Structure 1
């Protein structure tokens, strides 16, 4: 075997190849979009175009590199067709619940204030919340889709009407980051160094990539490492499903920005409420968003610690000497967050 073939067949070699294959077309896309008027680039339409186009590129490259470089399928890395909608929706629900809990704590401590409400949007929000909760309950009890699922999906779509553009932007962003950080970086690092090291490195990289955001903050990046970086990686370890991680990522950002009107790592998106965070920035996160605050770190950090300990007790944290393969535990065999001791 030649040296190049040896590098290409190694996990780190494949990691580098896949990241380069993703970055090059993304740089080309950014260059092309920079030719457009600055006013369009800074608009909601420009943000939508960038995120949807980038997500489409990453999906195409991810699928191609899996087939050509790794000789494996989407299902083997956590994108099985079975129950994908159920897993995304349950993840979305869990992400929304976490952000709602963080916002509730901030409100009770006087740090979160609603400054504006769109009256008709509140009707949509009620439909959204009720249908989402009922769908999550139905899916948690039974994976099979029936009449009530379709009826509740219709209500859910109605609830998304006001925030359709914001939702599409966030879907694009969640797909991009999950395919890169959990689908490529975490997965290939885990195969070489085990789950704990892969979790730590991928969380650090995930946090520091947010320094590219408008309201970049070192404190915010460090907070994301401790919260979302660890949380989403451990969810992937527990479920081996990228649908779950995309859902949690999307639910977190959607409730943070479109529902509660907070900053999403420095970004502002239209939603049901407009709001402001006051008090010590160390507690609320201030202009970067709640995820940079101590309230979020304590809540999400506690959940992450619980899930990490659960994964360790269930022997799901793979050691360096035992790389994960599809034959050991395919995503279709473990797609729910287990709570068994």
Structure 2
């Protein structure tokens, strides 16, 4: 950040205080997410309407995020810049789709997941707007706003804990959520998504992973997505087995299979972030609120 702290107006210093920034940025982003989720629910069976709403909310959320970065935080929003986006999106898509596919393959070997038929390819379309909405909007809220601001204030480890627990337990709002599912998501997804941000210092990889996981889960393997919905995808399965393998009503995120695979992948990325010196330590001045945000 190029802003000279000594020349920063008092009103801007107040707006740049971490808790104030969390409220000012997090609230409108969370409303975008909430509106998108509500619209998806009210327009089931109308994927075109859902896609228009999802893209509109994503565009609005990015406009809010970039504008807030430039005019309040006084930084260049490099965490959402387009340069290098393609590579990070590609890696995120591969990790997300690959991890979920590995989980299903393990269940198939164990005889828990059995393929009994194939639906028309058109069955894969309704999951597109849902995956876009969750991937973009949830990552802007939980990694772009919550993790990033807490990290600048209290350091990477506190930010990892706060963002992971918040992200996991927000899923308790879903209709078929379980406490086990919320705890598992806090660990497996909270670590993986935050670590992806720490390694790249950008949001694209975590956005792409989130989208690919949700889309593969629903559109390809007809799985339950985080206790929220269960739409028919490409594959017609019969899933029968203990809840610690299937995840029960919450879906595969609440299974030991997903927990072990995703947590392992997250720890690998976290170790990479540590080795590359990507960990932010809390600054005493920042703890007092005397410094502006860390430049990205």
Please indicate, yes or no, whether the TM-score normalized by the shorter chain is above 0.5. Answer: yes
Contact residue 88 and residue 243 of structure 1 kept, 8 A: yes
Rounded to whole Å, the distance in 2 between the matches of 1:240 and 1:14 is 19
Report what 2:13 is aligned to. 6
Rounded to whole Å, the distance in 1 between the matches of 2:97 and 2:32 is 32
Against the structure 1 CA distance between its residues 279 and 315, is the aligned structure 2 distance closer, same or farther, given a 3 Å change threshold?
same
2:45 alignment partner, one of 19, 38, 43: 43
What SS is found at the alignment partner of 1:116?
A: strand
Rounded to whole Å, the distance in 1 between the matches of 2:73 and 2:202 is 18
2:33 is the alignment partner of 1:71: no
Against the structure 1 CA distance between its residues 227 and 23, is the aligned structure 2 distance closer, same or farther, given a 3 Å change threshold?
closer
1:233 deviation in Å?
0.3
2:271 is the alignment partner of 1:309: yes
Q: Render the CA deviation track for 1:197-226: whole Å, top value 9, x for unaligned.
A: 101110111111111222111111111001
2:165 is the alignment partner of 1:204: yes
1:174 alignment partner, one of 126, 132, 135: 135
Report what 1:220 is aligned to. 181
Rounded to whole Å, the distance in 1 between the matches of 2:194 and 2:31 is 25
Kindly report which structure 2 residues correspond to 1:260-339, keeping only aligned pairs within 5 A, or say none. 260-266=221-227, 267-321=229-283, 325-326=294-295, 330=296
Contact residue 184 and residue 254 of structure 2 kept, 8 A: yes
Rounded to whole Å, the distance in 2 between the matches of 1:30 and 1:247 is 19
Report what 2:108 is aligned to. 107
Against the structure 1 CA distance between its residues 55 and 112, is the aligned structure 2 distance closer, same or farther, given a 3 Å change threshold?
same
Q: Render the CA deviation track for 1:76-111: whole Å, top value 9, x for unaligned.
A: xx1121121222122101111111111111211222
1:24 deviation in Å?
5.1
2:124 is the alignment partner of 1:163: yes
Rounded to whole Å, the distance in 1 between the matches of 2:179 and 2:90 is 32
What SS is found at the alignment partner of 2:176?
A: coil
1:314 deviation in Å?
2.9
What SS is found at the alignment partner of 1:308?
A: helix
1:71 deviation in Å?
2.1
Contact residue 131 and residue 212 of structure 2 kept, 8 A: no
Question: How does the TM-score come out when normalised to structure 2?
Answer: 0.84
What SS is found at the alignment partner of 2:190?
A: helix
Root-mean-square deviation (Å) = 2.7
What SS is found at the alignment partner of 1:70?
A: coil
Rounded to whole Å, the distance in 1 between the matches of 2:220 and 2:207 is 18
1:73 deviation in Å?
2.8
Contact residue 195 and residue 269 of structure 2 kept, 8 A: yes
Structure 2: stretches of 5+ with no match in the other structure = 1-7, 287-292
Contact residue 123 and residue 219 of structure 2 kept, 8 A: no
Q: Render the CA deviation track for 1:264-302: whole Å, top value 9, x for unaligned.
A: 113223421122432111222022111111111111112
1:17 deviation in Å?
1.0
Against the structure 1 CA distance between its residues 87 and 24, is the aligned structure 2 distance closer, same or farther, given a 3 Å change threshold?
closer
Against the structure 1 CA distance between its residues 264 and 29, is the aligned structure 2 distance closer, same or farther, given a 3 Å change threshold?
closer
